Amino acid sequence: MSSDHFLADLNEPQREAVLYGDGPLLIVAGAGSGKTRVITRRIASLIDRGVQPWEILAITFTNKAAGEMKERVSALVGEGQVMLATFHGFCARVLRVDGEAVGLSRDYSIYDTNDQVAMVRDICQEKGIDSQSFRPRSLLWAISRLKNDAIEPEEAEAGAMSSFDRVVSRVYARYAEAMASANAADFDDLLLKVVELFEKQPDVLDKYRRRYRHVLVDEYQDTNLIQYRIARSIAEGHGNMCATGDPDQSIYRWRGARVQNILDFEQDFSGAHIVRLEQNYRSTNHILGAATGVIQHNSGRLLGELWSELGDGEKLTVLSCDDEEGEADAVVRLIEEARAEGLSLGEIAIFYRTNALSRGLERALRLHNVSYEIVGAVEFYERKEVKDLLAYLKVLANPKDAVSFLRVVNTPSRGIGKTSLERLRAWALPQGLGPREAARRAAEVPTLSKRPKNALLAFSALLDELERSLEGLPGDTLRAVIEATNFEAYLRDFGGAEGADRLENVGELEAALLAYQQAASEPTIAGFLEETALVSDVDQYDASAERVTMMTLHAAKGLEFPMVCMVGVEEGLLPHQRSMESEEDVQEERRLCYVGITRAQRRLVLSHAGRRALHGQWAPSMPSRFLEELPEVHLQRDDRRSGSRRESSSGWSGGWSGRESGAAVGDEEGAAYSPSADDFLDVDIPRVRQRVRHTHFGQGVVIAVSGVGSKARITVKFDRFGEKQLMAEYARLEPA
């Protein structure tokens, strides 16, 4: 293929990155600068100049990104054998082939978060640790941080300073033993085991160095210590390391990401060539100017100001509201206006720092009959009936998988209760037996009564019978499990819509397995389980759906939308209250804000509210410091606060210190606008039989009033929503 084919539509820095020869290369790619295009074109260029496809290893962070790269590379050079995968996907494949050297057989299980929590809860019970004082998820998070920092259980025990640390080290040590006994790996283990493999088996590392002559790592700023070591250890054999990323978009420090990895690239790879991509193809210049205004307050940057040929576009809208209900309603009305102007719902996204902010927005969207989808809600592979069937497949593929065995041993019900399982466990532990082997020998357990003994023996025989189905296609195995366990009849017993939904999910799982079976060159149950285990929330996002997308700012990384609404841009939310103790934490929150802003293509709304309900009580909120950092020239203001002297303006002077003309009447000049409970004590109480209008519920008639002042309760019969009881302080009723 002629190089002109994949160079024609590139700008000069992009061409430079694509055509650069051997040796270390750092591509500092600003938001929307065509990073994926450059990576895929560089792969095509390498192949064009004689590198074999199977000699290229390209790693990114999501299956979605890896899939997109595969499609683009195939379109350029045809179907090949380029290894395009996530870090976890690549490591999972390495361990399927060479994992026995580090204690994992080819049929090992990959435990997701729920599996891990179940194991930690079991360990707490075994060790007599109060799971209320030391919650399993908190312990698991601490263990994960230790792993990401490459700290072994023995080191954790030696370095424990607090009672929590000491409990973590105890659980960590037992957790490692239990994972080994179950022939299982969690997501952290997938990476750690490969590091261990490369260190213990130099010949295995040498094999991968010779296999992959070129290593390309996307989103390099998000690599943690272990990922960095894996990529570097392979690339050190030849020096052909191409890292792509942007320190301004490093937002995963809380899960071990080290922005220093990209900042130190030149030190790590002597003679590295650096290319900077600063032309943005996604957003208009008002959006980019605002983003630059925020991020320039950070240190450790490698890029200048992003620019675009798409024109200035609309100014950013900064939306100010009295409270979270008013904010939600105002955001939805702006969405409806955009829709009336021709924007589809699928082109609109709402971002928030924490999932808790979605509640009020969901209510407002439903009241206005606006369809929406929450990315990161209960996903398909997390649904109970789906996880149950996957657990059956796991225990068939890996008989040592204790967590999966315990999940399905009484699903559907077989009369094997918690007490029976505890007695089985107490008998099996001293003998070093896992639950599957113990079930085979249930007849030997003296503390078990006849019924659970027979049930365990029958279940063990069922699994032995189902194991024979592994010789066929994966789809046949799943169907055999469904039929042998009467799983569909079990789901029908739920009745009604719930039963129908659960049965539909089973059908969807079978369809997913069939799709995998058709796409894989050598389909296996282990391969399908690996694929499902590594699916993330964003991988399941459907960009073609005609509904508003709602997601956290972290989940929005890598996506783009014509219209973005960022809500809750307030101190304590963005930056988050847990991230305000150090400048390093605040800088990461600023990068998160920057990522959110640069997801918008043409229209961006940043909203904040004067107060929010926390634990059932209203508390005042302050606009985020990041709003103050936005350059005035890129902004227009939509001020919907009831205490404001101005409804809206396309421009304002002053920052967010209260000097703007939106400050409440009577405030001292320069004082910040900070609503308190006193602002809402004097309220108008409507009369019984008076017709009123509510922001969300529309028009109705007051049918009862009890109490006085701001705490009065008003019962209104709304035309569309029936009777609602409202507190006067928050009702915000107006005469109809």
User: Which residues, at least 6 apart from 445, have a Cβ–Cβ distance to it below 8 Å?
Assistant: 423, 424, 427, 438, 453
Name residue 693's amino acid.
R
Taking the CB of residue 63, how many other CB atoms lie within 10 A of it?
Answer: 19
**Where in 165-309 does DSSP place strands (E)?**
184-185, 214-217, 241-245, 273-277, 279-280, 307-308
Is 249 annotated in the active site? yes
Is 35 annotated in the active site? yes
Decide if 357 contacts 568 (C-beta within 8 A).
yes
Query: Active site residue: 36, 113, 690, 699, which one?
Result: 36
* 301 to 266, 289, 295, 324, 494: CA distances (angstroms): 14, 16, 9, 35, 56
Q: Which helix (H) or strand (E) holds 735?
A: strand 734-735
**Strand 241-245's sheet: what is its strand order?**
83-86, 56-60, 214-217, 241-245, 25-29, 273-277
User: Cα 56 vs. chain centroid, distance in angstroms?
Assistant: 28
Name residue 434's amino acid.
G
Distance in angstroms (rounded) separating the CA atoms of residues 85 and 219? 13
Give φ, ψ of 273 to 5 degrees: -95, 140
Is 599 annotated in the active site? yes
Identify the CA nearest to 319 among candidates 662, 551, 614.
Answer: 662
Query: Active site residue: 98, 115, 218, 322, which one?
Result: 218
Identify the CA nearest to 459 among candidates 489, 402, 417, 416.
Answer: 416
Is 218 annotated in the active site? yes
Taking the CB of residue 100, how many other CB atoms lie within 10 A of it?
Answer: 12
Query: Active site residue: 14, 249, 284, 485, which one?
Result: 249
Is 732 annotated in the active site? no
Is 64 annotated in the active site? no
Distance in angstroms (rounded) separating the CA atoms of residues 387 and 505? 11
Distance in angstroms (rounded) separating the CA atoms of residues 479 and 177? 34
Query: Active site residue: 147, 599, 637, 732, which one?
Result: 599
Distance in angstroms (rounded) separating the CA atoms of residues 410 and 506? 19
Distance in angstroms (rounded) separating the CA atoms of residues 195 and 189? 10
Token couple for 453: 């003994």
Q: Which residues are catalytic?
A: 35-36, 218-219, 249, 599
